[in-house]
Amino acid sequence: MAKKSASGLSQKQKLQIVKIITHIGALLPLILLYIDYYTYNLGSDEIRAAILRTGKPALILLILSLACTPLNYAFGWKLLLPLRKPLGLYGFLYVVVHLAIFVGIDYGSDIVLAWEEIVRRRYALVGFASFLILIPLAATSTKWAMRKLGKRWKTLHRTAYLAAILGAVHYLWLIKQNYTEPLIYAAILAIFLVMRYEPIKKKTIELRKSVKKRFA
């Protein structure tokens, strides 16, 4: 029999609710973009608006996927751990849509011209590098790949931090003013990365257990 909490819900039921909220929240920016496109609410530069409105959710979703493990260390929120995979895959989806708009619409599917722009612009180059890193991560997100790769799977998927950092740099170099937001994303990533360092991880878990014991 499933153990129920004070709220009357079992852990399985809570997880199902959190997963539903995650799916809705992750798809919402794409749905709103679709609605705004067909109602002519993207402004005077529709392509740039669409590129920005797919790139930003991609970065946020990647950061959220990386947040699950450190938040579990700090607060014991094990319910977040199963969300790492869907959040990461949704982040990759937005990156693909982001790149598809850039190549397919902004550059009229002219691969050569788009590639020349990517190589010429530093923000485009680091963004494309982030995309390349995410491809093997998305391709190995299955349980079969996890079993096949063994310990190498974790090593490979740690490069998600590099992809997210490059994404933050891409955003920072892309915008021409108000760097506050991309710098905040970079700072959050740095905190999460430090929390993965084994001595810091142990201290964080010990502190959480100590606080929990004190207030139990």
pLDDT reported for residue 1 = 45
Could you report the per-residue pLDDT of 149-179, keeping only the tens digit for each? 998 999 999 999 999 999 999 999 988 778 8
- At residue 83 the predicted structure's pLDDT band, cuts being 50, 70 and 90, is very high
- At residue 214 the predicted structure's pLDDT band, cuts being 50, 70 and 90, is confident
Q: Examine the pLDDT at 127 and tell me if it is beyond 90.
A: yes
Contact 175, 169 (CB under 8 A): no
Contact 71, 80 (CB under 8 A): yes
pLDDT reported for residue 176 = 74
Of 131, 140, 30, nearest in space to 85 by CA = 140
DSSP string, 70-122: HHHHHH--GGGGGGHHHHHHHHHHHHHHHHHIIIIIITTT-HHHHHHHHHH-H
- At residue 7 the predicted structure's pLDDT band, cuts being 50, 70 and 90, is low
Can you tell me the distance from the alpha carbon of 205 to that of 138, in angstroms, rounded to the nearest whole number?
29
Of 186, 192, 184, 158, nearest in space to 70 by CA = 192
SS3 (DSSP) at 2:
coil
SS3 (DSSP) at 74:
helix
Of 213, 202, 214, 215, nearest in space to 74 by CA = 202
Can you tell me the distance from the alpha carbon of 98 to that of 93, in angstroms, rounded to the nearest whole number?
8
In this structure, the number of other CB atoms found within 10 A of the CB of residue 29 comes to 18
Of 160, 151, 199, 186, nearest in space to 62 by CA = 160
| Tokens read off for 84 | 């790492």
- At residue 6 the predicted structure's pLDDT band, cuts being 50, 70 and 90, is low
